Structure 1
Amino acid sequence: MLDQSRSAISTLLDERREGHSLPAGLYTREDVYEADLDVFFRKHWIFIGPECDVPEPGDASVIDVAGSSLIMLRDDDGEVRVFHNVCRHRGARILDEGTSVVSKLVCPYHQWTYELTGELAYAPHMGRDFDKTCNSLKPVNFRNIGGLIHVCLSDDPPADIDALEAVGRDRLLPYDLKNTRVAFTQDVIEHGNWKLTIENNRECYHCAANHPELCVSYIDLDFGFDPESLSPEDRERAARHEALYARQIVAWEAEGYPSAAIEHLSKTESNFRTQRLIISGAGESQTPDARAAVAKLTGIGRKDLGDTHLWGHNSWHHFMGDHIIVAAVIPLGPDKTLLRMKWLVNKDAVEGMDYDLHNLTSVWVATNEEDAALVGRSHAGVSDPAYVPGMYSPFTEKQLDWFAGWYVDRMRAHGY
């Protein structure tokens, strides 16, 4: 049966046409979903949360993904660590999902007790010959990318994470995520395949018709356009905008703020893109009026540096002067995906004094709910017998074409 399933998946991969969306089965089949978990959520680097989820020694956060439960914590020396949430005795879960504060990690089943560094400290009634040193918690490969915690559940993680780490060092560290806190978390269940969630995020072809809140701070020309469809006036506007971007990137980089696009989107193991974007209108933040929502700025200390966006194959993030948005995509089934978004602010910012929570969050809360409806519509459509893969716009959806090609390449690399 396993060989038959691999053969069926391989046939679907063969059917994918460049410039077109994926065959239906790659979105809808249970065996494809299981293969996706194995390839993209166990063998590639994935984002699980920001460093500020565990701000103080003893703070712990449990994240469930791809069948694994992970404990992210900060130890007594202030170092972030990630362990499998599996007791070395008989496998019981040590902590429940969510956040907690602990002095040690104590399994509630038989009281096996671990230090925050993972070493087994206490195992009652195991005899004098029992070797505690062989029963530490299993660590998880992780990297702190500018305050964003990425893990790989494989013992052979992709080495090109170094490229993303360099981006984090140069572009994200100035925002000082270690000294932020989570002001708000929104969990949205999207009734669609995880790839549809990612595809929806990677294009703004749909934004003007569906995201009035976001379009206050987004510039439509940034997301591609067909020049032949523009009026002479709009072509002139587009030319002015492209010239402005070129000047702005030069100016930002002259001040020491890397801004130009970096794209690792094909022929690579770790899929990511980053660029500093100009914010429209008041130019400060992704808020209802495009002005900063938080009086106490993030570590970068300025609100005129646009929006440093970064996306990976299970995440997207926006770094602005007043706040930071981080989002993780976690598959729950072939047709169900968890989107977890967090708004980060300066750790000293006080709600009601330095910011209004609704003003801070309303744009992306609305956008996420609108996108969830669109992803649900998309999944219903690809599940319909009438669906055939459609052509991507070469002007506004080229990122989707690259993602689909990368997806097929990575599946092939893992034997499908």
Structure 2
Amino acid sequence: MLNKVSSSITTLLDERRAGHSLPAGLYTRDDVFEADVEVFFMNHWIQVGVECDVPEPGDASVIDIGSTSLILLRDDDNQIRVMRNVCRHRGSRLLDAGSSVISKLVCPYHQWTYELSGELSYAPHMGKDFDKSCRSLKPVNFRSIGGLIYVCLSDDPPTDIKRLEEVMEKRLAPYDLRNTKVAHQVDVIEKGNWKLTMENNRECYHCSANHPELCVSFVDLDFGFDPDSLSPEDRNEAEEHFALYAERTRGWEEAGFPSATVEQVRHCETNFRTQRLIISGAGESQTEDATAASSKLLGTMARKDLGDLHLWGHNSWNHVMGDHAVTSTAVPLSADTTLVRTKWLVHKDAVEGVDYDLDKLTHVWVATTEQDSELVARSYAGIQDSAYEPGPYSKFSEGALDDFSSWYVERMRAHGY
């Protein structure tokens, strides 16, 4: 039997019309926010970081999701581990937010000490009969997929992440993201619900009017269009473009670079989509002039013409190019605020000022992220207005939003709402 809060959320889910945005309460209400965190950030796989966040043994990084805190670290055997940031004595946080370098995990409260494996090695004044073996730090289910770190906080994580692993390990292998470094990181607090952040990212209906920097390297026709509105000349251009896509995709795949669209976006637990996108103009990278930002290419890459390997999940989006990668994760902070963390990755041996210029590397996505933050805030402000009612998605430009909203409702119902 659902309680009153659950029943109320169920009513909102029932009100959602196919092909339309969600009812206002699903974006604005605190009880929905709490349910979202539980369903989508505690019981589904989420992307939280990259292996190069912790490049050396002893490197640690704290990731907070709601009231949950995680430690991503590299142990003495050079293996990645993820564990709960909670001392097994009386629950104190072991590490503060951010990055640190440690030889052991020492609780600042009572000095309980853990190896980088999570094993409790020292617990003062607990008596000779105290059994340390059952007081190791609690591990977290995680996967490193091509160097991208996914975690699931449930004891029963979704098994369909195997499809994501199968597809992306092969696609990401030539870029060797495990041997990159974080050249730059930007945290932006968006004034809107996390679902608006993800919806905004999943369409480019808004791009030509709002993202001049990004549009240098993105192809306008990829943003979606109404074919009936095109002139004969524009229609011919569109046909030529999609013929080029078919030709490029075929050529890339024949050369050993999987490129075709793969998506798992409805009737599933682990939501993702990937495709290799053509880069416009010079065709090399998402920079101001579409040329490569780093002369030292990633991994085993010897080509700059392999486009943008795009991957999104329900809390992340990634763009991987020959010279660098951009990875972004979204973490809900409250019903009306969302953390967007963006990282720029380059080859681990690339030297700033020698192999790459930091401004050229970051300019496009710094600008785009700031622009998107403003758009999300405007959208959230409007949704709070009593005049808001769910509007229809463009079937030409916003099909991915309908997929996302439909998947959201499916997953909420699967968890009892």
TM-score, normalising length from structure 1? 0.99
Matched, 1:186 2:186: yes
Give the CA deviation at 1:174. Answer: 1.7
**In the TM superposition, what are the counterparts of 1:59-138 in structure 2 within 5 Å?**
59-138=59-138
Give the CA deviation at 1:173. Answer: 2.1
Give the CA deviation at 1:167. Answer: 1.8
Give the CA deviation at 1:283. Answer: 0.2
Distance 1:77 1:173 in 2: 22
The residue matched to 1:349 in structure 2 has which SS?
A: coil
The residue matched to 1:327 in structure 2 has which SS?
A: strand
Residue aligning to 2:411: 410
The residue matched to 1:170 in structure 2 has which SS?
A: helix
How much identity, in percent, do the aligned residues show? 70
Give the CA deviation at 1:66. Answer: 2.6
The residue matched to 1:150 in structure 2 has which SS?
A: strand
Across the aligned residues of Structure 1 and Structure 2, the Cα RMSD in angstroms comes to 0.9
Give the CA deviation at 1:300. Answer: 3.7
Give the CA deviation at 1:186. Answer: 0.6
* Partners of 1:45 and 1:151 within 8 A in 2: yes
Matched, 1:315 2:316: yes
Residue aligning to 1:349: 350
* Partners of 1:300 and 1:321 within 8 A in 2: no
Distance 2:38 2:206 in 1: 31
Residue aligning to 1:325: 326
Residue aligning to 1:35: 35
Residue aligning to 1:398: 399
Deviations 1:24-74 (A, max 9, x none): 000000000000000000000000001100001111000001321000000
**In the TM superposition, what are the counterparts of 1:233-382 in structure 2 within 5 Å?**
233-301=233-301, 302-382=303-383
Distance 1:230 1:184 in 2: 41
Distance 2:382 2:270 in 1: 29
Distance 1:282 1:296 in 2: 18
Distance 2:35 2:2 in 1: 11
* Partners of 2:114 and 2:120 within 8 A in 1: yes
* Partners of 2:318 and 2:327 within 8 A in 1: yes
Bigger shift: 256-265 or 168-177?
168-177
Gaps of 5+ in 1: none
Deviations 1:237-281 (A, max 9, x none): 000000000011110000110000001010110000000001000
* Partners of 2:207 and 2:223 within 8 A in 1: no
- The letter of the residue matching 2:388 is Y
The residue matched to 2:285 in structure 1 has which SS?
A: coil
Distance 1:226 1:252 in 2: 28
Distance 2:311 2:223 in 1: 15
Distance 1:33 1:108 in 2: 32
Deviations 1:132-166 (A, max 9, x none): 00000000000001100000000010000101111
Distance 1:13 1:156 in 2: 25
* Partners of 2:203 and 2:398 within 8 A in 1: yes
* Partners of 1:272 and 1:312 within 8 A in 2: yes
Give the CA deviation at 1:230. Answer: 0.8
The residue matched to 2:413 in structure 1 has which SS?
A: helix
The residue matched to 1:291 in structure 2 has which SS?
A: coil
Deviations 1:78-125 (A, max 9, x none): 100000000000000000111111111111111100001110000000
Distance 1:331 1:316 in 2: 15
The residue matched to 2:3 in structure 1 has which SS?
A: helix
Alignment: residue pair count = 416
